[in-house]
Amino acid sequence: MAFAVSPLIRGPAAPAPTMARLAVVTGANKGVGFYIARQLQEAGLRVVIACRSSSQDLGSDASIEAFASTMETKYQQLDVLVNNAAIAFKAADPTPFKDQTVPTLAINFFATMRLTDRLLPLLRGSAAAGREPRVVNVASMAGKLRQLSPALQSEFASPMLDRPRLVALVQSFVAAVQSGKHREQGWGNSNYGMSKLAVIAYTKMLAREEGSAMRINAICPGYCRTDMSSNRGGQSPEVGARTATTAALLSAQGPTGAFFEHERESSW
């Protein structure tokens, strides 16, 4: 997944940080991400879409740094971050399962975590200014805990989970897949599902770290008719986007560290 900065609405090149709340939506050039951006815009937010390009990659530390630096110098603020960008191998893709594992986790989990961590200073600045920042991580029903053994479920759901342990667990999954022993070790059989489970675990961990300063939640948009689903989903991306928009516009009394489906809080 590659991305670049561009304003959803044409306007001043460097708006002052005292203007309306500013949102970033990754993977927003089409599909669910596009409609999330549109709905936030309709709610009165300024929106920066982070989208694909041939020269920049979400999996690249240099690209993430360039994006964050642009946000710091051009906009000087960030009030809502929606991490929607992700990849999924098609069912008919001939790439062996074990060769899909690293690229799927690299984009869907590791890059999402790196980008969010890099943008945290701007989000914390928003909190200090009383603008009630929000982080929304687009996950999936495929990321539910039930794909794991009870022991692994306890590990990922532990209130003591921190970054080193989370990364170690994800790397353990990668190693188990490469050895062909992931099922017998209690792991699921979906690289995409594992990437989204890790995103949900990261969401809950980050919410614990940031406390009441911001609302940080994960969502499932549902099975939508997009390129990712080969247009086989049961609902439009516009409908799927509503759950992310709901989480992005939560009141100060709304939940944090939660998982949303169908525009309401759900179980993990």
Active site residue ranges: 192
φ, ψ (nearest 5 deg) of residue 6: -155, 140
Nearest partner of 149 among 195, 121, 184, judged by Cα: 184
User: What are the strands, taking DSSP E only, across 98-232?
Assistant: 134-138, 215-220
Q: Are 58 and 107 in contact (CB under 8 A)?
A: yes
The single residue listed with the structure tokens 């039930």 is 146
Report the C-alpha dihedral over residues 47, 253, 268, 175, rounded to 10 degrees: 60
Is the C-alpha dihedral spanning 224, 227, 229, 231 positive or negative?
positive
Q: Are 1 and 28 in contact (CB under 8 A)?
A: no
DSSP state of 44: T
